[in-house]
A = this chain, B = another copy of it.
C-alpha cells in the first residue's frame, strides 16, 4: 500500500498496515520531509508516540519509485491537495484497477464535489472508497480501541477492512459513500462551532445542544444528497462528530477556540501547525446546501465568524435564539 501524505493519520495508517503484515510506503510531500521522517522514524510535531517500523518505507512524491509494488493507494493528504495529487497519480503508470482509499475529511475545490468524485474524475478506472469514523490518530497510535467504517466500492472496502482491522481497530462496511464523505466534511465545521463555544466558556450544556443541532443540520444536507440517515446515526456521523467536538485532540475544535480568542482564520493553521479542514469546508458546505435548498444555520454562523467579521459571541447567540428544528 502506498500512503500519500505523512500527516498524523497517514503516518498511523502506514504503521497499522505494517503491524498487520502489509508493507507500506509512506509518501511525503517534499524530499526534506521524507529525509527527516526517514531519519527520526516518527512525526515529531503531531505524533511523537508512534515510531514507524521497518516495514514502512519512507519516500516522497518526486521519487519515480514511490508507488513501486503498490496495489492500493491510501490518500491521507489534506482535501485541498487532492486535485493535484489525483492528477499526479493519473500521470503515473498505475497497475490496472488500483484502488484508492480516501482518508481526508473535506470537500473538493469550492465544495462542488466530494473527494471520491475528484479521485474518480482523474482515475476513472480505479475503484474508490472512503474510511471514516471517530479516529483521532493519537489514540489509534497508542492502541486505544477504535471503530471505523469504510464505504464505496465493496470489494475494495473489504480489502481495506482486512488490511487494517484488528481487535483494537474495528472496521465495518457501510453502503453509503455519499453520507460517509459528507459526514466527514460537515463534522469539522460543527467542531469549529463547538470550539468557538468552548472558547467563550459557554459550557457543556450549550455545547451538547450545539452538537445535537449540528447532527440535525448535517443530516438534512446529507438526505438532500441521497445519503442514508443510518450513516448519520452511526460511527461516521454522530460518532465522529462527538469525538471531534469534545476531544482535546481535535484540531478543528481547537481552531474554533482560536477564532473565539481573536486569531484571524488565515492565521489559525500556522498557529496550529496542522490543517484544520473545517475552515475550507465551511463555505463549500454552504455552496452545496444552496444547490439543494437546505439551510445550515450553524455552518452559516461559522462562516460569518471566521470570514465575515461577525463577533463569535453574536454568532453563537444567533444560534441559541433560534428554535431547534428537531423538537416538536
> Which residues of A come within 8 Å of B, CB atoms?
133-136, 139-140, 142, 144-147, 149, 167, 170, 172-175, 201-209, 211-212, 215-216, 230-231, 233-235, 237-240, 242-243, 246-249, 316, 320-321, 323-324, 326-328
Closest residue of chain B to A248, judged by CB? B204
Residues of chain B within 8 A of A216, CB atoms compared: 233
A212-B242 in contact given A327-B174, A327-B235 (Cβ < 8 Å): yes
**Residue among B206, B212, B321 making CB contact with A233, cutoff 8 Å:** B212
The answer to whether B242 and A242 touch across the interface, beta carbons within 8 angstroms, is yes
Whole-angstrom distance from the CB of A175 to the nearest CB of chain B?
6
Q: Are B327 and A205 in contact (CB under 8 A)?
A: no
Contacts of A247 in B (CB 8 A): 204, 208
Which of A201, A242, A324, A327 has most B Cβ within 10 Å?
Answer: A327
Contact between B139 and A172, CB atoms less than 8 A apart: no
Distance to closest chain B CB from A325 (angstroms): 9
A135 to B203, CA, bound (A): 10
Q: Which residues of B contact A211 (CB under 8 A)?
A: 238-239, 242
Once A173-B328, A175-B328, A242-B208 are accepted as A-B contacts, the answer to whether A145 and B202 lie under 8 Å apart by CB is: yes
Provided the pairs A172-B327, A238-B211 are in contact, do residues A320 and B147 lie with their beta carbons within 8 angstroms? yes
